[in-house]
Chains A and B, each alone.
Chain A
Amino acid sequence: MTTGQIYDLGYTPHEGERLGRSGAMRAITKDGIKRALGIGRKARSKIMPMGLILAAMTPAVVLVGIAFVFKSELNLDSTDLLGSHATYFDLISTLSLLFIALAAPAVMIPDRRDNVLAVYSSRPVSAADYLIARGGSLALLMFAFLVLPQLVLFVGLAALDPSGLFSAMVSDSGEVLRILAASVGYVVAFGVPAFLVAAYAKRTGMAAGMIIIGLALLDGVAEALTHSDVPGASLAPLLGIGALGGTVRDWVFDLSNRTFFQAGLPLWSAAASLLVTTVIVAYVVLRRYRREL
C-alpha cells in the first residue's frame, strides 16, 4: 500500500519580471494580429483572412513560376511577363481593402461587445496605448498583406535578371523602398477609415459592409464633385480617401494620375490629405475610448 500526502499549493505570488507598459502593448498587438487572422478561434474565423492572403500571394507565385519555366521559350523580358510592382498594387488593392474591412471589426468590436475594456482598465495601459497597439496590429497586418506578394515578385524579377539575383536585387533596391512607401499609402487610405468605423460599429459584419460601401461612396462623391462647378471642386479628389492610396502609389512610382492632373493638384497632396485624415480619426477615436478606458 502506498501512502501519500495532499499538498494545498494555494497561491504563489509572482516575484519575477514585469514588462510594464511596453509588455502590455506588445500583448495587445499580438492579440490583435491573432484576432484578425482567426488564430485561437473557430475554423470559420480563419477562412476569409487566410483565403485573402492566399489570393494576394497566388498571382505573384504563379507568375514567377511561369516565368522561370517558360522564359527562354517565350524570350520575353521579365518585366513584360510579370508586370511592374505598381500594376501589382492594382491587382491586390481590392483584396487588401476586403482584408482590412474584415480585420478591423474583428480586432476592435469584440472588446466593446463583450465589455472586455473593463479588464484593460486594470492593466498598465491608457486609452491611447490601447488604440496605438490595436491600430498597430492592423497596420502591421495590412502592410505585410501588401508587401509580401510584392517581395515574392521582386525576388522573382531579380532571379530572372541576366545580371544575376544578387546584383539585380542591389541595383533595384530603390524599387523596394517604393514598394514600402506605396504600401504605407494603401495602409492609411484603407486602414484609417476602417479603424474609425470599427471603433463605433457594434456588429462585425455590418462594419465590414460599412467600410467598403463608405469608401466607395466617398470616392464616388469626390469624383462627382471634381467634375462639377461647385466652388473648390478642384480640391474634391482629396476627399476620396480610398482612392488616395493609388494616388500615393502613382506619386511614389512617378506615374501620372488623370484625376489629380485634371484638378491641377500635385500628387503629394494625396499623402498630405491622408495625414490630416489620420490625425482627425485618431482624435475622434481617442475621445470615444477615453470614456471607457
Chain B
Amino acid sequence: MEHPLIELSGLGHRYGNVVALDNLDVNVPPGSIGLVGANGAGKSTLIRILLGILRPTTGTVRVLGHDIPRELIEMRARVGYMAEGSTLPLDQTAADFMVYAAELAGIPTKAAKQRASDVLTLVGLHEERFRALGDFSTGMKQRAMLAQAIVHDPDLVFLDEPTAGLDPEGRDEMLHLITRLGTFGIHVLVSSHVLSDIERTCDWVVMLDGGKLLRNGPIDRIVSSNTLELEVLGDSQAVAQALRSRGAEVETQPTSLLVTSPADTDTDVLIRDALADTHTGMRRLTAKQTSLEDLFLESGDA
C-alpha cells in the first residue's frame, strides 16, 4: 500500500458548542493501529467520521487514499466495521447474516456462502452457525460481529471497543483473533480505552484526550525512554550523588534508582563511571518499562 492508511488534516468536529475533535493532523501508516483515549476522548466520533457517517466541521479526511466524503462508496467497499455494542439482527441465524453481510459488499451469492462458512469457522462459530444470533452469549456475539466485519475481505477494519463486556477468556480469544488479522493482510484500527489491549495487538498508536491529539507514532518508540533502572550492591545514595554531579537526573525508588542522562550523554557510561568512583557493585541495569497507561496518565497530568 503506497498511501497512508488514514490521513487527517486540520480535522475538527463539534456537537453544538461541544468540541469533540480539535484540529487533528494525523497520518498513520498501514498496519495495526491503536486509537486510545478515555471515554469521551473522541474515539467513536473519529471512527464515525472515517466511515463517512458524520461530516467533519473542519478539515479533510482520507481513508485508504480515498477522500471522504467525495469517494465515500469506494472507501466503504474496502472497509469493515465492528461497532461498540451489539449490531446483529437477533432474529436471523449466524449463517444467514454472514451471507447477507458478504452480499452487501457486492460479493456474489455463491462466493458469499463460502466466505460466510470460512469466516464463521475462523472465529470459532461454525458449530453454532444455524442458531439465531439472539440466542448467542456476549462472547459469541462479539465474535459474530468480528466475522461480519471481515467476511467481505476488507483492506481495513475498524474495531470499536472489541473486548467490551467480555470475560477474561473471551477477551483473550478476541485479542488473539485481532492479532491474526494482520497476518491475513487486513489492516486494523482498534479503538479502546483498555491500553493493555492496544499494546498487545497494535504496532502504532494514536492517543486522544478531550478531542486533542496527545501522541501519534509507533508504540515501541513511544513507550521506550532514555531512563534506566539501576539496582546497586551498596550505598545507593552515594551512587545517586555521583550521578547527579555528572548531570544526570536521578529518582530514588525503594530498591532502585531511575537514571535519566542529558540528551547528548550515554547513560551506560555515566553509570559505569559513577559506580567506579563510589566503588559500588551493580546488581541489575534495565531500561525502564513504560506502559501506554503511564504515558497516558503523564500526558493527562501535563
User: For chain B, which range describes its interface: under 10, 10 to 19, 20 to 34, or 35 or more residues?
Assistant: 35 or more
* A11 B118 Cβ-Cβ under 8 A: yes
Bound complex: CA of A17 vs CA of B107, how far in Å? 7
**CB of B106 closer than 8 Å to a CB of A:** yes
Nearest to A42 among chain B residues (CB) is B91
- Determine, out of B29-37, B75-83, B233-241, B249-257, the stretch whose residues face the partner at the interface: B75-83
* B72 A126 Cβ-Cβ under 8 A: yes
**CB of B282 closer than 8 Å to a CB of A:** no
Beta-carbon contacts under 8 Å, A100-136 to B: 110-111, 114-126
Known: A11-B184, A13-B153, A121-B53. A115 touches B85 (CB 8 A): yes
**CB of A174 closer than 8 Å to a CB of B:** no
Nearest to A106 among chain B residues (CB) is B91
Q: What's the nearest-Cβ distance from chain A to residue B289, in Å?
A: 34
* A14 B72 Cβ-Cβ under 8 A: no
Known: A11-B118, A13-B185, A24-B106. A114 touches B72 (CB 8 A): no
- Determine, out of B95-103, B164-172, B202-210, B221-229, the stretch whose residues face the partner at the interface: B95-103
User: For chain A, which range describes its interface: under 10, 10 to 19, 20 to 34, or 35 or more residues?
Assistant: 35 or more
* A27 B91 Cβ-Cβ under 8 A: no
* A12 B88 Cβ-Cβ under 8 A: no
Bound complex: CA of A10 vs CA of B122, how far in Å? 7
**CB of A18 closer than 8 Å to a CB of B:** yes
Nearest to B83 among chain A residues (CB) is A118
* A122 B79 Cβ-Cβ under 8 A: yes
Bound complex: CA of A117 vs CA of B81, how far in Å? 11
* B86 A115 Cβ-Cβ under 8 A: yes
Bound complex: CA of A121 vs CA of B105, how far in Å? 11
For B184, list chain A residues within 8 Å (CB).
10-11, 13
Known: A19-B107, A110-B89, A126-B72. A119 touches B53 (CB 8 A): no
**CB of B115 closer than 8 Å to a CB of A:** yes
* A17 B72 Cβ-Cβ under 8 A: no
Bound complex: CA of A227 vs CA of B49, how far in Å? 53
Nearest to B75 among chain A residues (CB) is A124
Q: A-contacting residues of B (Cβ < 8 Å)?
A: 51-53, 72-74, 76-77, 79-81, 83, 85-93, 96, 100-101, 103-108, 111, 115, 118, 121-122, 148-149, 152-154, 158, 180, 183-185
The 7 tightest CB contacts between A and B, nearest first, are A122-B81, A23-B106, A27-B103, A118-B83, A124-B77, A19-B106, A14-B153
> What 4 new A-B contacts, CB under 8 Å, besides A40-B96, A124-B106?
A11-B122, A11-B184, A21-B77, A122-B154
